[in-house]
Amino acid sequence: MKFYSLNNPEHHVSFKEAVINGIAPDRGLYFPEQIQSLPAAFFEEIESLSDQEIAYSAMLQFVGDTIPPEKLREIVHQMLDFDFPLVTLEENIAVLELFHGPTMAFKDVGARFMAYCLGYFSEGNREEVTVLVATSGDTGGAVANGFLGVKGVQVVILYPSGKVSEIQEKQLTTLGQNITALEVTGTFDDCQQMVKKAFLDKEIRKHRKLTSANSINVARWLPQLFYFLFAFKKAKSIGKEIVFAVPSGNFGNICAGIVAQKLGMPARHFVAATNSNDVVPHFMRTRQYQPKVAKSTISNAMDVGDPSNFVRILNLFDNDFTMLSQNFSSYSFSDKATKATMKSIYNSYGYLMDPHGAVGYLGLKKYLENCPDCYGIFLETAHPVKFLPVVEETLGFVPDIPPQIQKVMTGKKSTIQIATYDDLKAYLSKN
Ligand SMILES: *Cc1c(COP(=O)(O)O)cnc(C)c1O
């Protein structure tokens, strides 16, 4: 299987090149040339397969011959060493918990898979690869944790000083080894600008191989399709049509779900739930795609004004709006509605949601109004303690801190402070 650039169908690369480049030289996103359905028997017998077997079969065609089958098996076994529980909340509604990984964010799976792939591709290479990434919170921790100790890979994470939560800061500044945290005097946008500039800087690229670790990278994007297959395996015996609702920011996660459908997974519909950053809901109403400056909300991992993976979703439906709208809807919700939902779900069921999960629940409820007999699954993308201040303010108490978070809180923060692009360049040039 090859990948091509969405800006130029003539530009083809292998999975390995797509992972190492991150984005095509023409700035296009990489996209699979074709997606072959898995055999019908795979879905008929999915209950008898382990999560690792499911992941291996689903990933095989994308990886092609760039990773030997035994190695791919080893990778999925190592990365999937935690659970993905499907918890029933109401009749016909369940929550798929994606926060049982090492940093309690759903990004753990993609970050780990990418780290293992890049580690494998760097074996025997004399030249190190540097993963350069800007984070507004959760990405940094998941990437730091996934890449910790991977040989041949240096990780440099930029984050805005004072603008990430205490837990998030600890997760990305206390690990050491091949992980360096650059604490930037500025905003997340400043961090992102600096990273973009570094990627285009020939002087830096002359002596450093740089790649990115956001959901644009196919090795971070595609493994997210596992979640949908794992949930299908658990919900299949209910015998109803399944609807997935995904709290969406850059739309990588939901786009991977649609890839699972392309692989042959029966799913009736996908709902992308957003906060007030409503570029996609607006597009679905008007067919006008109008990027905006991102607004700050309480579900801040979804504060995105120009979702990078939406173009991949359009391509999965051959840019046909009718096909798209038969399979995909998108709704936007305010912070006020999100908080009210966190409260009412806690009061009714004793279930603690983070603000992102609550947005997903709202999206699902809205779609199910028209399909009361569907079975709805919404994705809970982070543990509530990752967004402690909002959860505490909304529910009026501090939830228990799980052991993997407690452990990181005792670590010692170590960062390098930078303020300008020249500081970043100096760091990348001398280390
Ligand atoms: C990144 C993130 C999202 C958004 O995921 P996309 O794939 O960018 O749509 C949602 N919730 C949480 C907690 C996240 O960290």
Confidence of residue 278 (pLDDT cuts 50, 70, 90): very high
133: phi then psi, degrees, rounded to nearest 5: -145, 140
- Measured in Å, residue 430 CA sits from the centre of ligand 1 at 34
Pick among 3.30.70.1290, 3.40.50.1100, 2.60.120.650, 3.30.70.520: CATH of 84-103+220-400: 3.40.50.1100
Confirm or reject: Cβ of 308 under 6 Å from ligand 1: no
Which residue out of 95, 138, 310 has the highest number of ligand 1 atoms within 8 Å of its CB and is therefore the one to mutate? 138
- pLDDT (mean) for 269-297: 95
User: What pLDDT score does 196 carry?
Assistant: 84
pLDDT of res. 77: 97
- 101 confidence band (pLDDT: 50, 70, 90): very high
Give yes or no for residue 157 having a pLDDT over 90: yes
Q: What is the mean pLDDT of residues 220-233?
A: 98
Residue 122, ligand 1, Cβ within 6 A: no
Query: Rounded to an integer, what distance in angstroms lies between the CA atom of residue 88 and that of residue 230?
Result: 15
* First-residue to last-residue Cα distance in the chain: 36
Residue 247 DSSP SS3: strand
Q: Please check the confidence at residue 336 and state whether its pLDDT lies above 80.
A: yes
For the Cβ of 98 lying below 6 angstroms from any atom of ligand 1, the answer is: no
- Quick one: which atom of ligand 1 is closest to the CA of 252? 7
Q: Is the pLDDT of residue 212 over 90?
A: no
Q: Which residues are catalytic?
A: 107
Of the pLDDT bands very low, low, confident and very high (cuts 50, 70, 90), residue 187 is confident
Listing from the earlier edge strand, what are the strands of the sheet with 8-13?
8-13, 3-5, 30-32
Indicate the helix (H) or strand (E) that contains 283.
Answer: helix 279-286
Task: Quote the Cα angle for 371-322-233, to 5°.
Answer: 50
163 confidence band (pLDDT: 50, 70, 90): confident
* Between residues 377 and 431, the one the model is more confident about: 377
Q: What is the pLDDT of residues 20-56, one digit of tens each?
A: 988 888 889 999 999 999 999 999 999 999 999 999 9
Distance (angstroms) between ligand 1 centre and the Cα of 144 equals 17
Mean pLDDT of the chain: 94
Q: Where are the domains of the chain?
A: 84-103+220-400
Host H or E run for residue 192: helix 188-200
Position 44 scores a pLDDT of 96
Q: Provide the percentage of residues in the chain whose pLDDT is more than 70.
A: 100
What pLDDT shows up at residue 223? 97
Residue 179 pLDDT level (bands cut at 50, 70, 90): very high
The pLDDT tens digits for 357-375 are 999 999 999 999 999 999 9
Residue 247 has pLDDT above 90, yes or no: yes
Confidence of residue 113 (pLDDT cuts 50, 70, 90): very high
The pLDDT value recorded for residue 1 is 87
Confidence of residue 102 (pLDDT cuts 50, 70, 90): very high
Q: What is the pLDDT of residue 222?
A: 98
Q: Which of 4-13, 73-82, 163-172, 262-271 is predicted with the least confidence, judged by mean pLDDT?
A: 163-172
Q: From ligand 1's centre to the CA of 308, what distance in Å?
A: 12
Handedness of CA 41, 74, 254, 219 (dihedral sign): negative
Specify the range with the lowest mean pLDDT, choosing from 18-27, 64-73, 145-154, 228-237: 18-27
Looking at the chain, the whole-number percentage of residues with pLDDT higher than 90 is: 81
Q: How confident is the model at residue 241 (pLDDT cuts 50, 70, 90)?
A: very high
Task: Give Rg (Cα) of the chain.
Answer: 21
Residue 193 confidence (pLDDT): 84
- Contact call for residues 213 and 131 (beta carbons, < 8 A): yes
394 lines ligand 1 (CB under 6 A): no
pLDDT at 36: 97
Do residues 154 and 123 lie in contact, with contact meaning Cβ atoms separated by under 8 Å? Answer: no
431 has pLDDT over 80 = no
Residue 130: pLDDT over 90: yes
Categorize the per-residue pLDDT at 235 as very low, low, confident or very high, splitting at 50, 70 and 90: very high
Residue 84 has pLDDT above 80, yes or no: yes
